[in-house]
Structure 1
Amino acid sequence: MTKRAYNFNAGPAALPLSVLQTAAEQMTNFEGTGMSVMEMSHRSENYERLNNETQQLFKTLFGIPEGYKVLFLQGGASTQFAMIPMNLLPAGKTAAYVVHGAWGTKAFKEAKLFGDAATIASTKESGFKSVPDMKNLKLPDNAAYLHVTTNETIEGVQMTEFPDTGDVPLIADMSSDILSRPLDVSKFGLIYAGAQKNLGPSGVTVVIAKDELVDKSPEHLATMLRYDTHASNNSLYNTPPSFSVYIMNLVLRWIESEGGLAGIEKRNAEKTDLIYRAIDESDGFYIGHAEPAYRSRMNITFRLRTEEAEKAFLKAASAAGFVGLKGHRSVGGCRASTYNAVPYEACAALAQFMEDFRRQSQ
């Protein structure tokens, strides 16, 4: 095998090497069927078993209690920006949003297309470097739900605590940090995540929702945009993204083998500490974007003192085998996405490269 790149892409992102190897071995013969999983009917016994097993793995790993559905949908998190208000924002109610980055902003703008929506807390004025205070949120009296984004990939800001919303459903976009740490799922009414960062390849979107929220789908909605359509058909109403679900199954097994979410959280902290240390000990050569208390374990964002220095850094990093370090086009700078599958060795190599580059530049 040729040397694998140090992959810090923001999504689609790194997958565990063992998962890729297993998929390669089974590419033409899934479980002795003589077919690839991409070739078989989603109505077949083999695929139904895969679908059900993947749901159960999710429930076990994430500690999902009874009374929740696990759905495998399509359209990415961006489609969920619309499906949530379409299904859960009735007339006379207000959708409340906490905004501390680009994706929360997009979710809020989409909700406004379907009803009354309000941003009740934001860190926009301070440059999205932190998360609003979660303990003193003031919800509208007629709140339909509260929406948060647990990790903002562009700004590199992550939530560490979640608000108590009482009877108001808490909805979370966890696209970029789902299954990266243990969480109390019972605090949330609905969680959603595109797979292409921590769960597998692009193509499948996971929705974890309380039964009573699934049952609220209005009858006037188009069939494919109703949560109850997919729940009542076990996510098999139409042809699913079968290969993406299959790879997600392998990724969930890999997470289990790595010690579950507790093991993954420990490893994520160890590997990202290496890069944050390289930033903090650089005497201002590297400048972190997020305030230290809100630094993401999934997306490390930083700048150099000048654009010329950043261009030189990115060019040298590319030549050294590092991929995906350029910041999002909307903000520039640099970003290392360190999702679950990014190995410790890649983060150690990046930290060492950053130190070497700093010394050579001074």
Structure 2
Amino acid sequence: MARISRVDPAAKVAEDKHRPLSSRSPITMTRHLVLFGRDQLIYPTSWKTAKCPSRRILRIRYRKKTTLRYGPPDVHFDVETQMQHERRRLEARERWIALEKVRQLELLEFELAVMEAERRVQEKQYRLAMKEEKRWAMVEEKEEKEKEEKEKEEKEKEEKEKEEKEKEEKEKEEKEKEEKEQEEKKQEEKKQEEKKQEEKKQEEQKQEEQKQEEKKQEEKKQEVHVEHRGDDISGDLAIMWCFAFLGWLLWWLRLERLGKGLVFFVEVVAFSALEHARMRHKRAAEKDEEKQETRKAPKLTWRESILGWLTVLFIPGLLVTMDGGGRSGAIIGES
């Protein structure tokens, strides 16, 4: 059984130089098999699984000193077979070195192509940036021109508006002056009219005063001197009625003499008052006839007449009810 102290370092892939043995890729394993032949059996110390986007990949951890067996473990080969395997290994190493050089060249070409593409992209970006700057410069110039034009237009508009406002103010002032003059004229006309009206009123008042004076003089001429007929006796008659009722109440309370006397006294006073008023009216009528005036003398008022008739009729009736009709006739005859 042949032993190899260490795997040849040239058999390692450049991509896996800085990687641990536990993270070898499956491409590395295929290249290892290509380099050392498919009849070499590698016995790992442990197997470890890891997750992959597409499938699970078996990763192998190697020993520092691996043992290579040629064929089954119970068969021993001679020196010729070992030499053949050694030649195969060297040929595979040469092939791998050539492939590695080719790969490095391809990588360099790829990197150069990438750099060239990046340069082109940068140039394009620079050109686009320059174009954009020019475009923005043009846009800014246009905007500035537009702003200047707008400012000019606004200034012109403001000037026009100011001129129009000044014109309007002047027109307003002229109109106000005219209105004031017209108002002053109207006020003067009103004052003159008021003066005329006052004069007219004064004249009318004077005429009215004259007319009133004439009327007063006529009334004084046509005044009728009538004798004053005195106070109204309706209140006196009402008081007499109250006393008569009081007398009847005393009679009803069995104070017969006192009640009859009070009623009799009230009857005498009432008849005398009525007679006195009648005589006064007669005298006034006679005086009017003597003066030959058309005015009639004043008569009794309706209250006086009503109370007089009730007094004439009702108080004797009270006496009749009290006395039973004996003395009332005599009293009425005397009255």
- TM-score tier, shorter chain, comes to under 0.3
**Structure with more of its chain in helix, by fraction:** 2
Higher relative contact order (CA 8 A, sep 6+): 1
Larger Rg: 2
- TM-score, normalising length from structure 2? 0.19
TM norm structure 1: 0.17
